Structures are given as C-alpha cells and as structure tokens.
C-alpha cells in the first residue's frame, strides 16, 4: 500500500531549501558505487545533513498518519537529493539493508519527501511499478509518499528545472506488508467507527487489535 503524507509546513520547507542551497552536493554514486542506474546528486555536508535530517526525522516521528501506517522501528535520517536536467535514477530495487552509523536497518518502506513542487521541474516523476502497472508521483512541497521497498521503482529523467527531494528508508515493527496493512486498516476503522459500537463489543475488538499487534510486532 502507498500513503501520501502532509509532512512539513512552509517554513520547514523553506529552511530545508535554504540548507540545500548553501550546501555541497556530490554524485549520488558515492553511496551506491556499483549502481549503473543512479544518476543524481546528494547532500554531502555533515552539518547540513545533521540539521536537515533532524527537521524531517522529527516531523516523521510526530506525524500520526505515518506512525499508524508504518509502525516505524528505525527510520534512516532523510537525505536531500537533487536531479538536474538530464538526470534520472533508473529502475531498481532498494537494497534490503541500509547502512547507518548505528548499524544497518532493514528497508521495509521507502519514503520520498518532496521539497520542490511539480511546477519547479519537468519530468522527474517517481514511478513505482506493481507488476505491469505503475503509479507516478510528483508531490507538492512538504508532502511525502511512502511505498513498499520491495517494489521496482525509478525517478524519470528531469528535462527542465530541478527536482529537490529527501529520501528515507524505514524498518517497520511489522515486517510483513500484508500484516502491516491489515493492522493499519483494522486500527483506522476501529478509531473511526468504534465509538458507535456497544461498549462491550468495542472492548472485545480492542483486545483483538492489541493481540494481533502482540503476535506480529518485532
Ligand atoms: O528520489 C526518489 O524519489 C527516490 C530515490 C530512490 O529510489 C532511492 O534513493 O532509492
Ligand atoms: Fe529507490
């Protein structure tokens, strides 16, 4: 399942764009030296990375929709990347393990946070495939899309302007996507409709929700 989040306000987006503007970017291959498809730039300035990733990490961990949907166990600090005209990130699968200073995390969910808007660049859609079908995303500034890391996906070539986003990877407490989505749906419907039920039935349903989480959470 895919989820679009309203993550950052205008001021946060501006701060992040200011950081990007005044920071050094390097060839994205620095973190994937063997990739034949990665053709973008990524932020390469420790202080700027620390400051920008904290804003986005804090926003993710304060976002109810994200917490309810992703059941995050570990979240990689979001990294700002940039595609200029001619750049793309060809079709690929995300690595199962994402190295972090604190040790590797498993990527269950991938996340793109949009800092530039669809009017700021041409091309550059994030295309996520699902078998022979695919979905294309170009979010407005401050929104994010989370999607399963097991998908093959790509960033289409930017033909004009600049695509500025941040990317992150999430290890979920619920590794199995089917179980995670089922719990999300169950919890959502219970939250929206539960109070219309008779109290004793609501209590029993809540016990079922908690017990599924006990069974499935790592
Ligand atoms: O820039 C994006 O939206 C996604 C980039 C990507 O697929 C990756 O870094 O693995
Ligand atoms: Fe990817």
Cα(67) to ligand 1 centroid in Å equals 21
- For the chain, the domains span 3-172, 177-216
Q: Is the CB of 53 under 6 A from ligand 1?
A: no
Of the pLDDT bands very low, low, confident and very high (cuts 50, 70, 90), residue 115 is very high
What is the ipTM for the molecules in this complex? 0.99
Per residue in 147-170, pLDDT (tens digit) is 999 999 999 999 999 999 999 999
Q: Which two tokens stand for residue 36?
A: 């034949």
Q: Supply φ then ψ for residue 31, to 5 degrees.
A: -100, -5
CATH entry, 3-172, from 3.40.50.300, 2.60.120.620, 3.40.50.1110, 3.40.710.10: 2.60.120.620
> Considering only 32-36, 125-129, 132-136, 208-212, which range has the smallest mean pLDDT?
32-36
Task: Please give the share of the chain, as a percent, with pLDDT higher than 90.
Answer: 95
pLDDT over 90 (residue 145): yes
Long-range contacts, 50-55 (Cβ 8 Å, 24+): 51/19, 52/16, 52/19, 52/20, 52/78, 52/80, 52/166, 53/77, 53/78, 53/79, 53/166, 55/8, 55/12, 55/15, 55/16
């Amino acid at each position: 399942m895919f989820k679009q989040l309203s993550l950052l306000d205008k001021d946060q987006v501006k701060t992040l764009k200011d950081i990007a503007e005044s920071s050094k970017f390097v060839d994205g291959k620095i973190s994937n030296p063997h990739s034949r498809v990665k053709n973008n730039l990524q932020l390469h300035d420790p202080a700027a990375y620390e400051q920008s990733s904290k804003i986005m990490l804090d926003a993710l961990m304060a976002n109810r929709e994200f917490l309810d949907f992703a059941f995050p166990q570990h979240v990689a600090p979001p990294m700002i990347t940039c595609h200029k005209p001619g750049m793309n990130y060809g079709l690929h699968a995300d690595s199962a393990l994402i190295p972090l200073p604190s040790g590797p995390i498993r990527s269950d969910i991938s996340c793109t946070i949009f800092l530039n808007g669809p009017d700021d660049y041409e091309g550059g859609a994030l295309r996520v495939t699902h078998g022979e079908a695919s979905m294309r995303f170009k979010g407005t500034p401050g929104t994010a899309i989370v999607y399963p890391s097991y998908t093959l996906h790509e960033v289409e070539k930017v033909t004009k302007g600049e695509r500025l986003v941040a990317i992150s990877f999430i290890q979920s407490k619920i590794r199995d996507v089917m179980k995670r989505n089922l719990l999300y749906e169950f919890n959502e419907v219970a939250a929206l409709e539960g109070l219309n039920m008779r109290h004793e039935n609501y209590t029993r349903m809540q016990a079922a929700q908690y017990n599924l989480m006990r069974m499935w959470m790592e």
